Amino acid sequence: MITLQDIKHLDSIASAHKRHGDENNAKLLHEAAVILSKEIPAQVTDRDSFEYSGIRFKSARCPACRTRYDEDDDRWLSKYCTICGQQLDWNEDANDG
């Protein structure tokens, strides 16, 4: 499992490459760190419920790109955001931030 510490370490290696003039590898390592960071589950935000035609629905947003997910949508409870690829944590017990 990828940890935040792993991502920071990869980014520090990218910074070292950049300091030594190796821009190509620095860029690749930084991009890899960004991509891998999406594998760390992030709690969905802005949980809400709303009523439409007398029926109550829930909604939430991806914390990375703010894509809205509605309970009646096929994407509700998706493991990954269908737009940016961020792994999503739907645990309602966690802090919504």
Domain ranges of the chain: 4-37, 42-89
φ and ψ of 8, to 5 deg = -60, -40
CA proximity to 39, closest of 77, 74, 75, 7: 7
Question: 3-49, pLDDT tens digit by residue?
Answer: 989 999 999 999 999 999 999 999 999 999 999 999 999 999 999 98
Which residue has better confidence, 95 or 3?
Answer: 3
